[in-house]
Structure 1
Amino acid sequence: MKTRYLLVVLIFLLCFNQVLAQSVPGTDTVSGIVADSASQNPLDLITVQLLNKANTPVNVVYTAADGSFSIGYPEAGNYTLVLSGVGYKNRKIPVNATDDAQRTIRLGTILLSPETVALKEVLVTAAKPIVTQEIDRITYDLQADPESKVYSVLEMMRKVPLLSLDADNTLYMKGNTDFRILVDGKPSSMVERNYKEILRSMPASSIERIEVITSPPAKYDAEGLAGIINIVTRKKLDNGYRGSVNVSERFPVGGPGVGGTVSFKQGKLGMTALFGASIYNTPEVSSWANRTTLSAQPTYLTQTNTTLNKNRSGYLGYEVSYELDSLNLISGQVNLNGSKSSGGAHQNSILRSTSEILQRYDLADDRGGTGDGIDASLNYQRGFKRNKNQLLTFSYRFLKFGNEQNDALQLTNTLNYDLPDYQQTNLQNFSEQTAQIDFVYPVRKLTVEAGVKAILRDNESDFQYRSYNPDKGVFEPRPDFSNQYDNTQNVYGAYNSYQYTFKKWGIKAGARIEQTVMRADFISTQSEAKQHYFNVIPSVSINRKFRKDVGMNLGFSQRIQRPGIYQLNPFVDRSNPLFERTGNPGLRPALVNDFQLGYNKSAKGSVSLGIGATLFQDLIFQVSVLDPASDITRVTYENTGRARLLTGNMNINYPFTKRWNASVNARAAHGKVEGVVNGTRQTNQGLMYSVNVSTGYRFEKEWRITANLNANGPNVNLQGTSNTMVGTSISINKDLVKEKLSIAAAFNNPFTKFRKDHRESFGPNFLQTNDRRDYFRSFHLSLNYKFGKLKEEIKRNKRGIRNDDVQTGG
């Protein structure tokens, strides 16, 4: 019944916006066609501004692919039309709009002259801004950072405002691991399955910029508690071709890698490919775990572990677009990715009482895994003659990815431990189909957007446990430890948003409605569970410009966290017999209210400051419960608590001279979490922080050296905390052939070979510490080559499918 009501609301919203589009007068316009004065070819993406008598902009648009534009004016009067574009001289045209009888003013063809500057032995250098602030997002320009030539996308995220990495290269946005990653504004199987594998194999030189969407507008799905990270690849292209290739080597942790992009455009046809592959090896790492039970007769568990891992991964993305005519565009995209891992682990486990050894065993784990993913999408975009910025888009997308995990475990040197050797296999598959319609209608200074969307998901898991039978000499299935699980999740949504710009103010506001229908089917046990929930999700962002280079942003968004397959899957991982890990099919969505206030200034340098408050309800926590009867700690997920987070962030980029610059990216937060664990209320709180300080100097003959300092404070969760991490690095790069071929090298943590990762956790009846010794010192080498010849930019769909409503795994 709720689904039927939702469909009625969706139809109403589309009808409402179409009526609005038809009812608002659209005849008070100035129109024309902009062309090159020499070749007479039409010019697209030329900025067209309309100024009033006070020289204040009242409207701004961009020319379409055929050079045409149509810009509205609010009332009768005299205006000035200003046309500007890269490589062309600005042109001003007076516009007399005082005649009420002639409300449509057609200027015909307007010619722009190329801007030519004669220079004689003069070197002109300009600093490209690295960080920019928009009404609802912060953008980091990777192409303006020389270190993009040596590091991966994942490593460069340490410098991006509101992002940080911990010792395990786990990515945090505003201190939270629940966010969405998009590629060119759309979801991709490359980062859906395991973002670490792909982002650390993706050279940053192949990426144009990273957008941190702090207050996602209503057009984005409501999931992702912290927000959205959008990775924008380099796709601006003229007629011709362009590309880049990066070859790298990393050791002792890591390995060789290659990646890059290739783009081609000829007439109305445009194509882009994104590719990469890498080997990532982790030498033997040692770790220790110590657990003490809190009881009248305490026990003491000590585990010593060594692990060795090898991973191979690769990805390929391909996009093609074709302009049927100036108003119709069709595009398609295919992404492929895959990985294979292998390794081994050895563990010595001893359980003691105060007077004797209660239990002992040695465990050898021969492990391996594979993963693959594919997604394909098709988009059709329809423009309108009356207003080139009015768009109607139809999109369809199919996504599928899978992971297989295999463990073969052998027990030796046992004492009071009779568990036989065993094998466990977990096969996960995720598929998704999405259909979406988006409508954009600009009315003078107001832009109206509306859309409807349906997402149909299917999660499957088949996990098997086999125990060794010494009498038969074979591994036999254990049905009580095995299960087949199927979960379907259908999301039906609609949004309506409005963006209004006047004088020095900009406002985005809107709301989404989402109906979610979930079903969990435990095939092996022939049981079923269902969930239905309905959400109304508001969002608003306000921007105020004080001067040309100073502004403030205020944002509020409400987000939800739907549990993903990694949290729902009831597969029990028994690779460590005394620490079992599993998902929870009964999880409910969590809700968050997020408030952000930011200040930014861009002059000689750039400064971004921000404060925020985030309130969580029904938060999905990972909880650990010790069973005193078996001495097994079971780890799972629960909707067990709530949390609040008060944050402050700062990002400063400043060029002291034309050759020397420095930047600081810092964040501090105080978090407090509380929840119920095993019937007992737990509370934890503390200060968290992350700091990246970077400075670089450019020498003669295109040499550049950069030094970095990274510091991460403790991470606070419901049942524990972690230690701080301080790291240093120095990189050198040189252009061998200017703007074509460059070489780069980096030396990370030259003074520290190993790092100790220390974590403390607690529960109602135990205390535990985990320590791990990781390789910290490493070397990076890379060679970057750019090639191509281009003239006219590729045209792409301005709207497409963005599924940002399920937690990113990894």
Structure 2
Amino acid sequence: MKYQYPRQLHKLLFFINLLFISNVSLSQTPAPFQVSGIVTDSTSRKAIEFATISILDNEKKVIALTYTDESGVFKSSDITTGSFFLNLSFVGYRQKVIPFTIKPNTPGFEFGTILLSSEVNQLNAVTVTGSRQLVEQQPGMLIYNAEKDISNQGGTAADVLRKAPILNVDASGKVTMRGNSNLRILINGKYSGQMARSPGDALNMMPAGSIKSVEVITSPSARYDAEGAAGVINIITKKGNQSTSGTIEIVGGNLEQAINLRIAVNRDKWNITSTLHLHRFREREIADLDRVTYDNGAASGRILQNVVKDNAKPHSSGDFQLEYTPDSASIFNFSVNGWLGSWPQNSEQFNQSFNVNGTLLNKYTQSVTTKAPNRGIDLNLGYTRKFRKPGEELYIMAQHNSASEDYNYNAFRRDEELLTYRERNYNRTKNREWTFQTDYIMPLSYSSKHALELGAKAILRNVSSIYDVAASSGYQPELLEPISERSDIFDYRQDVTAAYTQLKFKWSSGWAIHVGARVEGTFLEGNQIRLGTNFTNTFWNFVPSATIFKRLNPNNNLTLSYTKRISRPSIWDLNPNRDSQDPQNIFIGNPDLRPEEVNQVEFTYALQTDAEFFFNTSLFARRTNNSIESIVTIDNAGAATTTKQNLASNEQYGINFSTAIPLLPGWKINSNANVRHARFSSGALNISNNGMAWGVNVNSSWKLANNYSVQFYGDYDAREVTLQGYQSEWFYYSFSAKKEIPSKKLSITLTTVSPFSSYISQQEVVRSADFTSTFRNQYLQRSVRLSLNWEFGNMLGGGKSRKINNDDLKNAKPNG
């Protein structure tokens, strides 16, 4: 039965064709022909993923190149009529070449199931043509194949993201994309309560060995939540595709120790994956503050401060994923992720204040002890329905997140060992969240090249923060008395509704166009129960996106994209609890924050050759209005108060490069570089600041004889301007060596970070007409770790089921 389109759909297609391809004559475009098939192991009949599929012409030149997916399926629609050769290759298997012919008036050529025979006895002679590169280009994203990087053994997700293209992870663990930290980090395409709470902590709770790849999405389409001004990072974890497979990893080092367990069970209709992560790491930091205050342009005083932090942070996390496929048309998936840990921020401070003549006015020490336990759980349930028409799919998903977090500090101020002041702040935060989402893909052609995507989503979020503050008086410093004006219950509700539509067109001439739009409504309500104050607000945002893609040939392509993004403040930005554990540097939330809006355009050129040479370059420009920035003000005593405000805008434009170069057999170099110009301005504060910033990293790996390999990684980032100052340059580097014992499926990896300098230093300068503050932070990085990794079975592949991704909150590491 021939598929019949509704009359309205014909009108829609006619309008879109007039709008986007008025200069293209489709009647002159050769009809596309699809070549497809399934590649499996000749003995086990298991699907072979990542097999290289090359289509050759009569002169044996490559005219199309693709790979098999998780199910061993390959498809290619890049050829016309004629005679060709299908070349199949993968490491450990005999190469196979199959001639075939495509005739006119046929839909293409279906190979069915193709069996590849193992070539175990000749493994040393096999050319690794089916091995994926460390960095790959896909439309709209760059993919970092982390499982190929030996230096990730024994590390955490923070180490992995540090080496991904376009991203930067500084010495304190903050992740940025092209200088912007406002990005979304997803796990297998879904929202993570850990990442929303504190990305830096969450990345340390995820072992590097569980990560298959990292997708760096610089221009998200309308399908993604509008949140995330800089872009989206999607971390893909490994998944078993053998009957039983897994990994046990033990890590020991001077700064961290870990035990990581992964196990997967795969049956005909069931796939179960479970992970357990036990981790303890030490974080040591030394900070020096030099703040000079001014009165009418003349220096009026000075504050010097030295702070030492040395904390052990034990934590653990676990994950369980279940996928059930009753038939070829349906997929059910369920997952649960839980975590718990302690993240103390104990510190010892020495403070001095001087008058304008340099006379010492006051000095004291401040000891702070903190307790910061947190725990949480994410539950996901999803259903995927595939219809008879190729490419037509329906997704229905639900998610529940529940988390509790405490941040309690006790501060003791002493003068010559005599207690003069004490303050206690107990803060208990609870988050409850429900999410419901549905997506539908409707092909507009039988070949599935053109498609309409529709979706809707609702997020119901409720957060409460109970904080009680007590402090001593000057006469009885050991006796604590409640401070009612600083104690309250902050209840915050944020509901988000969204709907989107997206049209995708692809032609055999190499052109592709994606256009979409998303509408999001945000409904806010906040209450300070004891004070009796409340606020409500409603925002509606229209978020368009568009991408034009041109494949010049099988190895070269161009992409032009535009997207609009928004950033909502998080509970930690809004929480009015005053954190004054450091009396010279106070932090307080701002309940009146509004979302910021970002417009971004990007032009990308990508080259990827059969010789494993890769090159990608992007020109980008981004403007942020109503920008959420950290604003620092000073009081008469010289103490600084930091809060978030919508009092600025910023513009950034620049260029970034990513490349992979095979120098010699077994020796490769990967590198990422970026250069950008930033301009910040605030009319309300009468501030403007601008300047250049750049960074480069190099990752070189060399496979040696007898299953040895070595690797070097280095990352340098130059000075970067901020609204009220700048951050200085910093340098990070590491060396790794690995020995594999294939017969035992055992690998031993030794990694050392910063072996020639114990601390990584970074300076931050904040200034205004009233003061200039210079922070010099030193982070202990010199470390060595030994990782023993034993595998049974094979851990390959990522989940293909769609899951919820609540990428709608601006991350901010809380201080209570």
Task: Report TM bin, short chain.
Answer: 0.7 to 0.9
Which residue number corresponds to residue 775 of structure 2? 770
Which residue number corresponds to residue 711 of structure 2? 706
- Is 1:670 the counterpart of 2:677? The answer is yes
- Is 1:176 the counterpart of 2:180? The answer is yes
- Counterpart selection for 2:348 from 346, 364, 379: 346
Which residue number corresponds to residue 610 of structure 1? 618
Following TM superposition, by how much is the alpha carbon of 1:808 offset from its aligned partner in structure 2, in angstroms?
2.6
SS in structure 1 of the partner of residue 225 of structure 2: coil
- Seen in structure 2, the aligned counterparts of structure 1 residues 661 and 70 have a Cα distance that, compared at 3 Å, is closer
- Is 1:412 the counterpart of 2:414? The answer is yes
- Counterpart Cα distance in 1 of 2:325 and 2:539: 41
Which residue number corresponds to residue 191 of structure 2? 187
Which residue number corresponds to residue 142 of structure 1? 146
- Seen in structure 2, the aligned counterparts of structure 1 residues 106 and 758 have a Cα distance that, compared at 3 Å, is closer
Following TM superposition, by how much is the alpha carbon of 1:348 offset from its aligned partner in structure 2, in angstroms?
2.3
- Seen in structure 2, the aligned counterparts of structure 1 residues 84 and 515 have a Cα distance that, compared at 3 Å, is farther
- Counterpart selection for 2:208 from 204, 210, 215: 204
- Counterpart Cα distance in 1 of 2:638 and 2:46: 75
- Seen in structure 2, the aligned counterparts of structure 1 residues 738 and 125 have a Cα distance that, compared at 3 Å, is farther
SS in structure 2 of the partner of residue 321 of structure 1: strand
- Counterpart selection for 2:330 from 304, 307, 328: 328
Which residue number corresponds to residue 292 of structure 2? 291
Which residue number corresponds to residue 132 of structure 2? 128
TM-score normalised to structure 1 length: 0.87
SS in structure 1 of the partner of residue 125 of structure 2: coil
Which residue number corresponds to residue 11 of structure 1? none
- Seen in structure 2, the aligned counterparts of structure 1 residues 752 and 485 have a Cα distance that, compared at 3 Å, is same
- Counterpart selection for 2:160 from 127, 138, 156: 156
The C-alpha deviation readout for 1:306-349, integer Å capped at 9, x for no partner, is: 22212111111111011122212211010001111335322222
The answer to which of 219-228 and 479-488 deviates more is 479-488
Following TM superposition, by how much is the alpha carbon of 1:438 offset from its aligned partner in structure 2, in angstroms?
0.7
- Seen in structure 2, the aligned counterparts of structure 1 residues 243 and 61 have a Cα distance that, compared at 3 Å, is closer
- Seen in structure 2, the aligned counterparts of structure 1 residues 61 and 498 have a Cα distance that, compared at 3 Å, is farther
- Counterpart Cα distance in 1 of 2:546 and 2:558: 14
- Counterpart selection for 1:737 from 717, 735, 742: 742
The answer to which of 681-690 and 636-645 deviates more is 681-690
Which residue number corresponds to residue 590 of structure 2? 584
One-letter identity of the residue aligned with 1:655: P
- Seen in structure 2, the aligned counterparts of structure 1 residues 667 and 250 have a Cα distance that, compared at 3 Å, is farther
- Counterpart Cα distance in 2 of 1:123 and 1:680: 67
One-letter identity of the residue aligned with 2:407: Q
- Is 1:227 the counterpart of 2:242? The answer is no
SS in structure 2 of the partner of residue 342 of structure 1: coil
Which residue number corresponds to residue 603 of structure 2? 597
Which residue number corresponds to residue 302 of structure 2? 300
- Counterpart selection for 1:554 from 557, 560, 582: 560
Following TM superposition, by how much is the alpha carbon of 1:705 offset from its aligned partner in structure 2, in angstroms?
1.8
- Is 1:475 the counterpart of 2:477? The answer is no
The C-alpha deviation readout for 1:759-782, integer Å capped at 9, x for no partner, is: 211023111111233324221221
- Seen in structure 2, the aligned counterparts of structure 1 residues 713 and 122 have a Cα distance that, compared at 3 Å, is closer
User: Any conservation in 1 of the 2:311–2:344 contact (CA below 8 Å)?
Assistant: yes
- Is 1:370 the counterpart of 2:378? The answer is no
Following TM superposition, by how much is the alpha carbon of 1:221 offset from its aligned partner in structure 2, in angstroms?
0.3
SS in structure 2 of the partner of residue 513 of structure 1: strand
One-letter identity of the residue aligned with 1:393: Y
- Seen in structure 2, the aligned counterparts of structure 1 residues 41 and 659 have a Cα distance that, compared at 3 Å, is closer
User: Any conservation in 2 of the 1:197–1:313 contact (CA below 8 Å)?
Assistant: no
Which residue number corresponds to residue 8 of structure 1? none
User: Any conservation in 2 of the 1:17–1:448 contact (CA below 8 Å)?
Assistant: no
SS in structure 1 of the partner of residue 346 of structure 2: strand
- Counterpart Cα distance in 2 of 1:384 and 1:361: 72
- Counterpart Cα distance in 1 of 2:46 and 2:670: 41
Following TM superposition, by how much is the alpha carbon of 1:657 offset from its aligned partner in structure 2, in angstroms?
0.9
User: Any conservation in 1 of the 2:559–2:605 contact (CA below 8 Å)?
Assistant: yes
The answer to which of 270-279 and 340-349 deviates more is 340-349
One-letter identity of the residue aligned with 2:812: G
- Counterpart Cα distance in 1 of 2:587 and 2:337: 32
- Counterpart Cα distance in 1 of 2:729 and 2:76: 55
Following TM superposition, by how much is the alpha carbon of 1:570 offset from its aligned partner in structure 2, in angstroms?
1.0
User: Any conservation in 1 of the 2:43–2:117 contact (CA below 8 Å)?
Assistant: no
- Is 1:643 the counterpart of 2:650? The answer is yes
- Counterpart selection for 2:573 from 567, 573, 576: 567
The C-alpha deviation readout for 1:584-614, integer Å capped at 9, x for no partner, is: 1111110111111122212222111122111
User: Any conservation in 2 of the 1:426–1:464 contact (CA below 8 Å)?
Assistant: yes
- Is 1:519 the counterpart of 2:551? The answer is no
Which residue number corresponds to residue 688 of structure 2? 683
- Seen in structure 2, the aligned counterparts of structure 1 residues 669 and 250 have a Cα distance that, compared at 3 Å, is farther
One-letter identity of the residue aligned with 2:175: L
- Superposition RMSD in Å: 3.8
- Seen in structure 2, the aligned counterparts of structure 1 residues 236 and 597 have a Cα distance that, compared at 3 Å, is farther
- Counterpart Cα distance in 2 of 1:722 and 1:56: 48
- Seen in structure 2, the aligned counterparts of structure 1 residues 555 and 105 have a Cα distance that, compared at 3 Å, is closer
- Counterpart Cα distance in 2 of 1:235 and 1:121: 25
Following TM superposition, by how much is the alpha carbon of 1:50 offset from its aligned partner in structure 2, in angstroms?
12
Following TM superposition, by how much is the alpha carbon of 1:374 offset from its aligned partner in structure 2, in angstroms?
0.7
Following TM superposition, by how much is the alpha carbon of 1:685 offset from its aligned partner in structure 2, in angstroms?
1.3
- Is 1:505 the counterpart of 2:507? The answer is no
Following TM superposition, by how much is the alpha carbon of 1:749 offset from its aligned partner in structure 2, in angstroms?
2.0
Which residue number corresponds to residue 653 of structure 1? 660
The answer to which of 300-309 and 579-588 deviates more is 300-309
Following TM superposition, by how much is the alpha carbon of 1:61 offset from its aligned partner in structure 2, in angstroms?
12
Count of residue correspondences:
776
The C-alpha deviation readout for 1:22-75, integer Å capped at 9, x for no partner, is: xx9xxx99999979797897979899999999999999999997x999999999
User: Any conservation in 2 of the 1:310–1:343 contact (CA below 8 Å)?
Assistant: no
- Seen in structure 2, the aligned counterparts of structure 1 residues 20 and 60 have a Cα distance that, compared at 3 Å, is farther
TM-score normalised to structure 2 length: 0.86
One-letter identity of the residue aligned with 2:200: K
Which residue number corresponds to residue 460 of structure 2? 456
Which residue number corresponds to residue 380 of structure 1? 383
Which residue number corresponds to residue 22 of structure 2? none
One-letter identity of the residue aligned with 2:245: R
- Counterpart Cα distance in 1 of 2:455 and 2:389: 21
Which residue number corresponds to residue 488 of structure 1? 493
- Is 1:633 the counterpart of 2:636? The answer is no
SS in structure 1 of the partner of residue 151 of structure 2: helix
Following TM superposition, by how much is the alpha carbon of 1:230 offset from its aligned partner in structure 2, in angstroms?
0.4
Following TM superposition, by how much is the alpha carbon of 1:132 offset from its aligned partner in structure 2, in angstroms?
0.9
User: Any conservation in 2 of the 1:589–1:618 contact (CA below 8 Å)?
Assistant: yes
- Counterpart Cα distance in 1 of 2:89 and 2:270: 24
User: Any conservation in 2 of the 1:311–1:340 contact (CA below 8 Å)?
Assistant: yes
- Is 1:401 the counterpart of 2:403? The answer is yes
- Counterpart Cα distance in 1 of 2:672 and 2:291: 36
- Seen in structure 2, the aligned counterparts of structure 1 residues 236 and 390 have a Cα distance that, compared at 3 Å, is farther
One-letter identity of the residue aligned with 1:606: F
Following TM superposition, by how much is the alpha carbon of 1:277 offset from its aligned partner in structure 2, in angstroms?
1.9
Which residue number corresponds to residue 530 of structure 1? 536
User: Any conservation in 2 of the 1:319–1:331 contact (CA below 8 Å)?
Assistant: yes
Which residue number corresponds to residue 167 of structure 1? 171
The C-alpha deviation readout for 1:734-771, integer Å capped at 9, x for no partner, is: 11336821111122222222333322110231111112
- Seen in structure 2, the aligned counterparts of structure 1 residues 414 and 422 have a Cα distance that, compared at 3 Å, is farther
Following TM superposition, by how much is the alpha carbon of 1:149 offset from its aligned partner in structure 2, in angstroms?
2.0
Following TM superposition, by how much is the alpha carbon of 1:449 offset from its aligned partner in structure 2, in angstroms?
1.1
- Seen in structure 2, the aligned counterparts of structure 1 residues 450 and 89 have a Cα distance that, compared at 3 Å, is farther
Following TM superposition, by how much is the alpha carbon of 1:297 offset from its aligned partner in structure 2, in angstroms?
6.9
Which ranges in structure 2 are unaligned for 5 or more consecutive residues?
1-5, 17-31
What is the aligned-residue identity percentage?
23
Which residue number corresponds to residue 4 of structure 1? none
- Counterpart Cα distance in 2 of 1:141 and 1:583: 39
- Counterpart Cα distance in 1 of 2:685 and 2:724: 12
- Seen in structure 2, the aligned counterparts of structure 1 residues 560 and 682 have a Cα distance that, compared at 3 Å, is same
- Seen in structure 2, the aligned counterparts of structure 1 residues 584 and 40 have a Cα distance that, compared at 3 Å, is closer
- Counterpart Cα distance in 1 of 2:702 and 2:68: 38
The C-alpha deviation readout for 1:624-649, integer Å capped at 9, x for no partner, is: 11122x43321101001111111211
